[in-house]
Amino acid sequence: EAARWRREDPHLVFAGMHGARLAVRDGAIDWVVSSHIIEHFVNPVLHVGELARATTDNATVFFELS
């Protein structure tokens, strides 16, 4: 599925990283899906804070919990 999306939009990037230390510059991300991981963090506030740092002011962030 990800390969199909990349063909349709060459600017779309999928990346997996440590959720509390994203390897991107401030305000670099427009859209995030955090699916079934936040409940596994010892300190989920670090993940939320890191997403706040890495996303644009008008980004969409989707959290899904188990």
pLDDT score, position 27: 97
pLDDT score, position 18: 86
Six-digit token string for 43: 């300190």
Six-digit token string for 25: 């510059």
Q: Is the pLDDT of residue 14 over 90?
A: no
**Per-chain mean pLDDT for the chain:** 87
pLDDT score, position 28: 94
Quick check: pTM over 0.85?
A: no
For the segment 27-57, what is each residue's pLDDT rounded down to a tens digit?
A: 999 999 888 888 999 999 999 999 999 999 9
pLDDT score, position 60: 96
Helix (H, G, I), strand (E, B) or coil at 50: helix
- Determine the residue type at 28: A
